[in-house]
C-alpha cells in the first residue's frame, strides 16, 4: 500500500496535502475535539467572537495560557518535516491546513494555506492592522495595539462565529480543484466547511491517500489508499519509498 501511494505521488502533476489536528498531536498539541481534546477541559466560549468582544480580558487570559504559553512550546515533528521534504523534492505543491500552530512553516514548508488562520499573527479589530507575534506585548491583557493603542487585538485565527479567512479560503478551494493527488493527514473529516475539501478534490478527479490513526469519514467514501498509523511513522516511511523511486540507486 505504501509503495502504491509512493508511486501515485511520484506520478502526480499537482500533489497537495490536507492536514488536521492529528499531524500535530505528536508535537504535544492536543486536538480540540475527541478524547484528550481541549474542549473536554475548557469551555470554548472564550474564542466565540461576541463573547470575546464582551469579555476581552478573561478571554485573553485563556488565549495566552492555551495558545501562546502552551502551544508556543511545540516543535514540528517528523510528519511536518516529511511534508516539507516532499515540497523540497518538487513533488508537493501546497499544503492546506486546518491547524493554526504554524508548525508546517517552522518545518520548512513554504506554500501553506491556513484555512483557519494562524497563531503567528494578530490583528487589531479597530484599525485592522496585522502584526507578527513578536510585535505584540502580552504582559498586560488584553494586549495594546501598537498602532492605534485603543483597538482590541485578536489572534489571526478563526473564532467561532467568524467566516473562513481570505485569501486562505479561495486558495484552498483552488488547490483542491487542481489537485490530481491529495494526501489527507490527521483529520477525521468532521469540521465544516474544511472537511469538504477532500470531497471536492476527489470530485475533480484527484486520487486520495489518507494517513490516519483510525478510519475516518473519508475512509470508506473517497479514500483510494488508506495508510493506518501515526502520522510521523507513516509519512516518514512514505517519503522513504518516494526517495527510493526518485533517487538514482
Closer of 41 and 139 to Zn ion (Cβ): 139
Query: What are the contacts of 160-163 at 24+ separation with CB within 8 A?
Result: 160/44, 160/47, 160/48, 160/49, 161/48, 161/49, 161/50, 162/49
**Does residue 151 touch Zn ion according to CB under 5 A?**
yes
* Segment interacting with Zn ion (CB under 5 A) among 23-31, 113-121, 143-151, 186-194: 143-151
DSSP conformation letters of 89-132: TT-EEEEEES--S-HHHHHT---EEETTEEEEEEEETTT--EEE
The rounded Cα 210 to chain-centroid distance in angstroms is 15
What residues between 217 and 246 interact with Zn ion by CB under 5 A?
none
**Does residue 122 touch Zn ion according to CB under 5 A?**
no
Q: What whole-number distance in Å separates Cα of residue 199 and Cα of residue 206?
A: 9
Cell numbers for 75, please give them: 516543535
Closer of 148 and 240 to Zn ion (Cβ): 148
Q: Out of 25, 38, 123, 124, name the contact with Zn ion by CB under 5 A.
A: 124
**Does residue 143 touch Zn ion according to CB under 5 A?**
no
- Spatial neighbors of 70 by CB under 8 A, at least 6 apart, are none
CB of 195 to Zn ion, least distance (A): 34
Q: Which of 1, 2, 18 is nearest to 181 (CA)?
A: 18
Q: Is 104 one of the catalytic residues?
A: no
Residues written for the chain: 249
Residue 130 vs residues 134, 135, 136, 199, 215: alpha-carbon distances, Å = 12, 10, 10, 33, 39
Determine which one of 80, 116, 121, 128 is catalytic: 116
Q: Out of 145, 176, 194, 222, name the contact with Zn ion by CB under 5 A.
A: 145
Q: Out of 1, 127, 174, 221, name the contact with Zn ion by CB under 5 A.
A: 127
Q: Out of 73, 110, 148, 203, name the contact with Zn ion by CB under 5 A.
A: 148
Closer of 45 and 147 to Zn ion (Cβ): 147
**Does residue 147 touch Zn ion according to CB under 5 A?**
yes
Closer of 2 and 125 to Zn ion (Cβ): 125
CB of 11 to Zn ion, least distance (A): 49
Q: What whole-number distance in Å separates Cα of residue 146 and Cα of residue 51?
A: 23
CB of 157 to Zn ion, least distance (A): 18
Residues in the site for Zn ion, rule: CB under 5 A? Answer: 124, 126-127, 145, 147-148, 151
**Residues with catalytic roles:** 116
Amino acid at each position: 500500500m505504501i509503495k502504491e501511494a509512493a508511486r501515485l505521488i511520484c506520478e502526480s502533476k499537482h500533489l497537495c496535502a490536507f492536514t488536521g489536528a492529528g499531524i500535530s498531536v505528536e508535537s504535544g498539541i492536543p486536538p480540540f475535539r475527541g478524547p484528550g481534546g481541549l474542549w473536554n477541559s475548557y469551555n470554548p466560549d472564550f474564542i466565540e467572537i461576541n463573547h470575546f468582544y464582551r469579555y476581552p480580558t478573561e478571554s485573553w487570559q485563556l488565549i495566552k495560557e492555551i495558545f501562546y504559553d502552551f502551544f508556543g512550546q511545540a516543535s514540528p515533528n517528523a510528519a511536518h518535516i516529511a511534508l516539507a521534504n516532499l515540497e523540497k523534492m518538487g513533488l508537493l505543491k501546497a499544503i492546506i491546513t486546518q491547524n493554526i500552530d504554524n508548525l508546517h512553516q517552522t518545518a520548512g514548508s513554504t506554500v501553506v494555506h491556513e484555512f483557519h488562520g494562524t497563531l503567528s499573527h494578530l490583528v487589531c479589530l479597530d484599525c485592522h492592522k496585522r502584526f507578527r507575534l513578536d510585535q505584540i506585548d502580552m504582559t498586560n491583557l488584553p494586549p495594546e495595539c501598537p498602532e492605534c493603542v485603543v483597538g482590541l487585538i485578536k489572534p489571526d485565527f478563526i473564532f467561532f462565529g467568524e467566516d473562513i479567512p481570505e485569501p486562505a479560503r479561495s486558495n484552498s478551494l483552488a488547490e483542491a480543484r487542481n489537485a490530481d493527488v491529495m494526501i489527507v493527514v490527521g483529520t477525521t473529516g468532521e469540521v465544516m466547511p474544511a472537511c469538504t475539501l477532500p470531497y471536492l478534490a476527489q470530485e475533480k478527479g484527484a486520487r486520495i491517500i489518507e494517513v490516519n490513526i483510525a478510519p475516518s469519514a473519508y475512509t470508506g467514501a473517497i479514500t483510494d489508499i488508506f495508510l493506518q498509523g501515526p502520522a510521523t511513522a507513516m509519512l516518514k516511511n512514505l517519503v522513504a519509498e518516494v526517495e527510493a523511486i526518485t533517487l538514482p540507486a
